[in-house]
Amino acid sequence: MELKITDLNKTYPNGVQALKDVNLEVPLGMFGLLGPNGAGKSTLMRTIATLQEADSGQILLGDINVLYDKEKVRKLLGYLPQEFGLYPKVTAEDLLNHIATLKGITSKSERKELVDALLQKVNLHSHRKKNLGTFSGGMKQRFGIAQALIGNPKLIIVDEPTAGLDPTERNRFHNLLSEIGENTIVILSTHIVEDVSHLCSNMAIINQGQVVLKGIPTEIVGSMTDKIFKKTISKEEIDDYRSEYQVISSDLFAGNTVIHIYSETDPGNGFSSVAPDLEDVYFKTILGERSETQLI
């Protein structure tokens, strides 16, 4: 099964055009949708999740017309929204059991078996009797995945799942997602480049409502080989470098500033070539021809 988005457009009543002619093919596996805040990721996720209307365009999940056959899509969908409200005084086990009932699993024993298996899967079984209000951010996100998995979805959408998680929690969440991605379409929407470089076999970058780059991360990164150069400079020099080169990132390192620039040819002047990574690609793409680093 594949998800295919064609010429999707959405303008909000206040005039903000959140999606502009979006075209994407999303195959089985983990798909990363990367973009800065305000790029249109949530709008796209909510539209695919049938929670919001588009103005024009088409979305097909296999042969299901997503924008019209909403009920069919909902039966195949697991959704972990950006804002995930939990009932703080309900236990993990009880809430999963309740959601399973809502999703039509009527047999009590079947529900118990499913809830137990899901809690094991997301590593929350020993916390099943605890109220959700006592959960850490990472535990809440893993609970969110457990509820999204009820009903064996064919399409799972996770919107900004790792924002606010500490490195250990993020790592655990990554492992969980990549397990799920083996036989499901998983769309991971994020502004964190590392989430995509660690996990996704396909990706797209969206900026100001438009898909500005799409493909296989390793190929995309490979296309920038021999075009990224770095140099350590002092902080005061950065403006000069920005006016002369296409600076795509600047990082403080041991009191100095390390800049990465994009250049089709060897710039000389003390720059050395570095192997590109997805972060270089991302900032080059988002910043376009401007050499600004306010997004970093």
Q: Which is nearer to ligand ADP, 93 or 279 (CB)?
A: 279
E strand map for the chain: 3-11, 17-26, 29-34, 56-61, 64-65, 77-80, 155-159, 185-190, 202-207, 210-215, 228-233, 246-253, 256-262, 272-273
Q: How far apart are CA 91 and CA 110, in angstroms?
A: 19
Q: In whole angstroms, how close is the CB of 13 to ligand ADP at the nearest point?
A: 7
- Identify any residues that bridge with 26 across adjacent strands, giving them in sequence order: 3
Q: Which is nearer to ligand ADP, 18 or 150 (CB)?
A: 18
Q: How far apart are CA 40 and CA 8, in angstroms?
A: 12
Q: In whole angstroms, how close is the CB of 66 to ligand ADP at the nearest point?
A: 17
CB contact set of 200 (below 8 Å; sequence gap of 6+): 29, 30, 31, 32, 188, 217
Q: In whole angstroms, how close is the CB of 18 to ligand ADP at the nearest point?
A: 4
Q: Which is nearer to ligand ADP, 97 or 162 (CB)?
A: 162
Q: In whole angstroms, how close is the CB of 278 to ligand ADP at the nearest point?
A: 18
Q: Which is nearer to ligand ADP, 159 or 169 (CB)?
A: 159
Which sign does the torsion angle of CA 152, 137, 83, 56 carry?
negative
Q: Give contact residues for ligand ADP (rule: CB under 6 A).
A: 12, 14, 16, 18, 35, 37-43
Q: In whole angstroms, how close is the CB of 32 to ligand ADP at the nearest point?
A: 13
Q: Which is nearer to ligand ADP, 15 or 104 (CB)?
A: 15
Q: How far apart are CA 252 and CA 88, in angstroms?
A: 41
Q: Which is nearer to ligand ADP, 18 or 261 (CB)?
A: 18
Q: In whole angstroms, how close is the CB of 21 to ligand ADP at the nearest point?
A: 15
Q: DSSP states of 4-17 as a string?
A: EEEEEEEE-TTS-E
